[in-house]
Amino acid sequence: MNDRDAGGIAAQSTNTSDPYYRSGTYLRQKHQLAGTRYVQWVLDLIPDWTAATILDAGGGWGRYLWQLLDHERVDGQNMILTDLSEGMLHTAFEEAARRTISLKVSRCNLEALPFASRQFDIVMANKVLYHLQDIPRGVEELARVVNRSGVVMATTNSEKITATIIALHYQALETLGVPFTPEAPSPFSMENGGELLAARFRQVARHYYEAETLIRDAGEVRALYETIGRYRNLLPRDDISTEAKQALPVVVEKLAQNVIDREGVLRSPELMGAFVCSDPV
């Protein structure tokens, strides 16, 4: 896919180094399995989207923009999707074609947004800031491109819980004797993100989202596991045997089944949320 411009906006020749994000296929699948409850909760934090000019920075395959088009009265021509990954934008174009709508996109790094200052009423940075090399620089860019009376929405995960699917992943690695190093703490979480945003916004409101899914079918856990980055990023690795790679989803399903057999249900708690920022410095 060639770089595509949105309204004369230059795309940059960068790409993401995370192999999981080279295509949007698995992220889209993961989001489709997860449903839209959380996304709608995020969108409801802003009372009126109707006439706003909207930037979704690091927006992936467009999960939030599709929800806006489906459930809020927004004009698709007022929205721009950006992402560092060409493959992610390719998946967004596939989705746009399926819906027969034209989508404005720009491939760019969130740390250097190719937009004029004060151009947007609403700017989103959903689950992307923790990927940046220079988070303060990214926050500065978000504060630059939003209107003085506009809003920046930044969503992320909480560090207070480990998602069930991730816990099962580590248990499966242990079961198969695959060595792993535990993840470093997130550089932008619900717990530490507020301070980073407060450097560029006078108002930062933190909203937690808490939910729990009860799973009774271990097959669903396996289907979800096969879409997540932690698993997919292991697949190209030479230091892990093909047998172990193939066995991982099977072991995850078995571990989930053991819990369901024992307790009747597998609980999958979620803790994440959103920062709503206004009054840019």
Ligand X SMILES: C[S@@+](CC[C@H](N)C(=O)[O-])C[C@H]1O[C@@H](n2cnc3c(N)ncnc32)[C@H](O)[C@@H]1O
| Residue ranges that bind ligand X, judged by CB under 6 A | 16, 21, 58-60, 63, 83-85, 88, 109-111, 126-128, 131-132
The distance from CA 140 to its chain's CA centroid, rounded to whole angstroms, is 20
**CB of 127 or CB of 230, closer to ligand X:** 127
Residues in the chain: 281
Tally of CB atoms within 10 A around 188: 23
**CB of 128 or CB of 152, closer to ligand X:** 128
**CB of 127 or CB of 206, closer to ligand X:** 127
- Is residue 9 within 8 A of residue 114, CB to CB? The reply is yes
**CB of 130 or CB of 170, closer to ligand X:** 130
Residues 64-77 as b/e (b if ≥16 CB within 10 A, e otherwise) read: bbbbbbeebebeee
Shortest Å distance, C-beta 25 to ligand X? 12
Is 92 exposed, middle or buried (CB count within 10 Å of its CB: 0-12, 13-18, 19+)? buried
Instruction: Residue 252: name the closest of 161, 140, 175, 154 by CA.
Output: 175
Shortest Å distance, C-beta 272 to ligand X? 10
Shortest Å distance, C-beta 21 to ligand X? 4
Nearest residue to ligand X on Cβ basis: 60
**CB of 132 or CB of 251, closer to ligand X:** 132
Shortest Å distance, C-beta 129 to ligand X? 9
Is 62 exposed, middle or buried (CB count within 10 Å of its CB: 0-12, 13-18, 19+)? buried
Shortest Å distance, C-beta 83 to ligand X? 5
**CB of 106 or CB of 178, closer to ligand X:** 106
Enumerate the H helices of 156-225 as residue ranges. Answer: 164-175, 193-198, 218-225
Shortest Å distance, C-beta 130 to ligand X? 9
**CB of 78 or CB of 126, closer to ligand X:** 126
Say how far apart CA 27 and CA 6 lie, in whole Å: 23
- Is residue 57 within 8 A of residue 146, CB to CB? The reply is no
Shortest Å distance, C-beta 16 to ligand X? 4
Residue 271 host element (H or E): strand 266-280
Question: What SS3 state is found at 208?
Answer: strand
Shortest Å distance, C-beta 98 to ligand X? 17
**CB of 114 or CB of 175, closer to ligand X:** 114
